[in-house]
A = this chain, B = another copy of it.
Amino acid sequence: MDVLILTTGGTIDKVHDLVRETLVFDREAGSCVPAILTQARADFPFVEQLMTHDSLDMIDADRQVLVDAILAASERHIVITHGTGTMGLTARYIADRVKDCTVVLTGSMRPYSLGRSDGGFNLGGAIIAAQTCAPGVYGVMNGRVISADDLEKNRTTGRFA
């Protein structure tokens, strides 16, 4: 079963910048997703890095890029890595426009590059959900599959419902 993985940035892909002493995207190194797959000996060769955005910077034009990529793809099982802040908005934007695919958004609260991240666990779950869930748009966070309608981060706990 072919799974297409699209990356958009988000916390999962941030790295520590020594000079600015803050978390940034390393656009040269690219997404951490291929490294997570290698570590898991998971063979999903179709990874496209579409953008590197904080999810708070995502606008509908970016969401349309995602929709276009999904509609253009031959795979019917899609995983999207995304920041947690607006994951629900993007899920619902896609759900209104894509009907015949299983699309699963995921991400992490702690960047993968910092170690002890939730990113590997979440990606592992999202890849399975993309293969086992009925067509629709979902988030996978904290070990749960959440429908697009209900996908919202609790900003106090840092967890999804």
- Seen from chain A, the residues whose Cβ lies within 8 Å of a Cβ on chain B are 3, 11, 16, 18-19, 21-23, 36-37, 39-44, 109-111, 113-118, 120-129, 131-133, 140, 142-145, 155-159
| Residue picked from A36, A122, A133, most chain B C-beta under 10 Å | A122
Contact B143 A128 (CB under 8 A): yes
Copies per complex?
Answer: 4
Q: Evaluate contact between A145 and B121: CB separation under 8 angstroms.
A: no
- How far is the CB of A80 from the nearest CB of chain B, in Å? 16
A155 to B129 CA separation, bound complex (whole angstroms): 27
For A113, A118, A122, A128, the residue with the greatest tally of chain B CB atoms inside 10 Å of its CB is A128
Closest residue of B by beta carbon distance from A158? B18
Q: Is the CB of A110 within 8 A of B18?
A: yes
User: Which residue of B has the minimal Cβ distance to A129?
Assistant: B128
Q: CA separation between A43 and B70, bound complex, in Å?
A: 32
A129 / chain B contacts, CB cutoff of 8 Å: 128, 132
- How far, in whole Å, are A143 and B33 apart by their CA atoms in the complex? 13
